[in-house]
Structure 1
Amino acid sequence: MGRLTIRARLTLAYTGLFTASGAVLLFITYYLVKRQLLAPVQIEEVSLPPGITKEPDDQIISFVERQAETYRNATLTTLLTQGSIALALILVASAAIAWLIAGRALQPLHQMTATAIRIANAGSADRGLHERITLRGPHDEVRRLADAFDLMLARLDRSFDGQRRFVANASHELRTPLALNRALVELAITRDDASPDAQRLGESLLKVNERHERLIEGLLTLAGSQAELVTWEAVDLAEVARHVVSTHTRPATHTRPATHTRPAIQATLAAAPANGDPVLLERVAQNLVENAVRHNIPEGGWIHIATNMVNGHPQLVVTNTGPVVPIYEMETIFQPFRRLGRERVGGANRGFGLGLSIVRTIAHAHGGSAHAMPRPDGGLVVTVTL
């Protein structure tokens, strides 16, 4: 019973109720008929068969009793037989009627379930929250439940929308002073009378400013990729990956020690046509390559980039060497501002913990997914499927 649907359970309950009612009615009818048949029979005149005289009276009584017993048995047998057939027909009819009634009663719940499934399959935590059930009908318990669900969706939608606007507005507001700081520092260190100490200080300030600019750019990308895509174009992931590989350069020297060598990049690029935003898809490949470079081993590391079609879906796979990563940390690395060990981001030589979070968010915006698996020898295999 626990595995049956609510509609099936209601159907069984209704059918059982109808069947029990019919069985009780048949028993009562049988009892009343039997009681009536067992009542004394008043005999006024009986036509006896040949060979039976009117004397003695016991012969007449015996014959009448036998006839009455036969009549009672035949009547009760007919009642049970035909009553059972009628009860079986009632059982079938009640099951069909109960199935229809249960389906009709559960129709609002099916509508609520379909809306919840559409929201859950939207691909992002905040996408699809604009949908509403808008259930029509009497103000009963189901209608109140649907209205409460709509109210919850409206509040969640406003909350997520306000969060996106705050991040976008804050990032835009921070861009202007950072750009002004960069211009002033560059102007100061390029002057002819700038001292070597001032130039070194200016270079350090530019590195800090660049780090802040990358943080703001990451926040903007993260906020923008969580919104609905407005650009849908035919894009080949192989061309995107080839462009990223050809234009990729080592990160700034302050992000990696000078003694580290850049890992070798290999590519196996098969055609992988997709539809989406070319700029965001390029950011996916760029973030994956930068993450693979940043978290590689100091010497002898390598990165392999592959594109192909899997079950009709374009796929981008980036594999790299690096430290051994526990499998239980796979979801942690996709969380914003989080790195391995669940520590908050910090330090000048590490990223902000936004790279893989942006990758997954952009993949979800394109109706796809992004997941990572650790290599036994160290490093990751990150797969993005659109």
Structure 2
Amino acid sequence: MRLTVRGRLTFVYGGLFVAAGLVLLGAIYVLVDQAPPVAGKTIVTDQLTAVPPDGEHYLQKVVEGTQASTLHTILTRGAIAFAVVSAAAIALGWLIAGRMLQPLHQITATARRIAESPAADRGLHERIALDGPEDEIRQLADTFDLMLARLDQSFDGQRRFIASASHELRTPLTLNRTLLEVALEPAEVSSEVRQLGTTLLAINDRHGRLIDGLLLLARSDREVTERSYVDLADIVDHVAVSDTVKVLTEPGEAAVLGDPVLLERLVQNLVENGARHNVAANGWVRVTSRTRPDGWVELQVGNSGPVVPRYEVPGLFEPFHRYGTERLASPGAGLGLSIVRAVARAHGGEVRADARDEGGLIVTVLLPRAP
């Protein structure tokens, strides 16, 4: 098990203190042990006026005993004092290390909140704003704040560009459609011109759906601030219909707080995607909604269809990605599941897809339940 930075700092500080204390205690022991006993014997002899012949040997034993007793006292009491002071020093080192690492904990907590945001750019507006001296940790926090500011500007610029470009492209498409409808209105228009005009109208409509999808994607990629009480069961009853395949519904109570328009588009996209990518005969789409015991609302849309390799499933949520169809041949814009994921994340939820062994997909959306 690896020690944390706080544990390693405490280990280093405590280890250095213990090593220095052991060296000091050993040096005192050596100095006292190597002190010459003659000085002590001379002092005692000078205090006595008469010393018997065997008195010198006696005095030498007294001095040696005193020296041994002193060494024993130094070792026992010094060891006790050293243990107490070492424990206090290690505890103090643990507190000081935690105090010194507190700014790093603040940086880590901010980075974790941003990383755990449902959308990639959800928490980029948050800053560490660390107070304190201009040291290395303060420089790290300021650099992190600068990186967040630039990322936030980049994401905002990307959303504004998508919204502006979509609005600018909507006007010429509307004009083209009007001109084509006017050109095809007279009865004497030849069949070739009418066929060409019909094809151009279809292409124009496809481009219009693409622009609408981009606008909705740019809108749903932001956090929903104004929320209303919405029961997904009502939305399933309302939008889960199709003219090409059989739609089976099991609308159970699934109350959430969110944007009704975005949530309706989420369900509609899943149903349309399931109906579009289906089999020619006996195709079906099953839509269920329920409230799970763990406090989440689950919307599940499954369909029959071609077999999808499991490694292709994650890429289906990427914009303009289609499996098994050419872009020009597909009636969709390639944004259906991307919008579903963006709407789910904007409501604090998540979405996943699982490939069925028999063919088709099962897409599951999880949203927080309304209190």
Structure 2 length-normalised TM: 0.91
Q: Does the residue aligned with 1:347 lie in a helix, a strand or coil?
A: coil
Q: What residue identity is the alignment partner of 2:330?
A: N
For each residue in 1:153-184, what CA deviation from the matched residue of structure 2 results, as whole angstroms up to 9, or x when unmatched? 11111111111000000001111111222222
For each residue in 1:158-211, what CA deviation from the matched residue of structure 2 results, as whole angstroms up to 9, or x when unmatched? 111111000000001111111222222223323343344333332222211111
CA contact (8 A) 2:253 2:289 kept: yes
Q: Does 1:336 align with 2:319?
A: yes
Q: Does 1:25 align with 2:6?
A: no
Structure-1 separation of matches of 2:24 and 2:99: 28
The residue that corresponds to 1:189 in the other structure is 184
Q: Does the residue aligned with 1:143 lie in a helix, a strand or coil?
A: helix
The residue that corresponds to 1:274 in the other structure is 256
The residue that corresponds to 2:361 in the other structure is 380
CA contact (8 A) 1:19 1:90 kept: no
Task: Give the total of aligned pairs.
Answer: 363
Structure-1 separation of matches of 2:178 and 2:146: 49
The CA deviation at 1:54 is 6.6
The residue that corresponds to 2:286 in the other structure is 304
Identity of aligned residues (%): 51
- Equivalent in 219, 238, 243 of residue 243 of structure 1: 238
Structure-2 separation of matches of 1:138 and 1:126: 30
What runs of 5+ residues in structure 1 fail to find an aligned partner? 48-52, 251-261
- Equivalent in 151, 159, 162 of residue 156 of structure 1: 151
Structure-1 separation of matches of 2:36 and 2:308: 88
The residue that corresponds to 1:167 in the other structure is 162
For each residue in 1:34-70, what CA deviation from the matched residue of structure 2 results, as whole angstroms up to 9, or x when unmatched? 22364542142789xxxxx976x3x434433333333
The residue that corresponds to 1:81 in the other structure is 76
Closer, same or farther in 2 for the Cα pair 1:281/1:39, shift >3 Å?
Answer: farther
CA contact (8 A) 1:234 1:276 kept: yes
Q: What residue identity is the alignment partner of 1:302?
A: W
The residue that corresponds to 2:33 in the other structure is 34
Q: Does 1:322 align with 2:315?
A: no
Q: Does the residue aligned with 2:297 lie in a helix, a strand or coil?
A: strand
CA contact (8 A) 2:206 2:333 kept: no
- Equivalent in 105, 122, 129 of residue 100 of structure 2: 105
Larger mean CA deviation between 327-336 and 27-36 belongs to 27-36
What runs of 5+ residues in structure 2 fail to find an aligned partner? none
Q: Does the residue aligned with 2:210 lie in a helix, a strand or coil?
A: helix
For each residue in 1:339-362, what CA deviation from the matched residue of structure 2 results, as whole angstroms up to 9, or x when unmatched? 337x9x622235332111111111
Q: Does 1:7 align with 2:11?
A: no
RMSD: 2.1
For each residue in 1:287-322, what CA deviation from the matched residue of structure 2 results, as whole angstroms up to 9, or x when unmatched? 111111111122222211111122111111111112
Structure-2 separation of matches of 1:354 and 1:175: 17
Q: What residue identity is the alignment partner of 1:331?
A: P
Q: What residue identity is the alignment partner of 2:221?
A: Q
CA contact (8 A) 1:8 1:99 kept: yes
- Equivalent in 341, 351, 369 of residue 370 of structure 1: 351
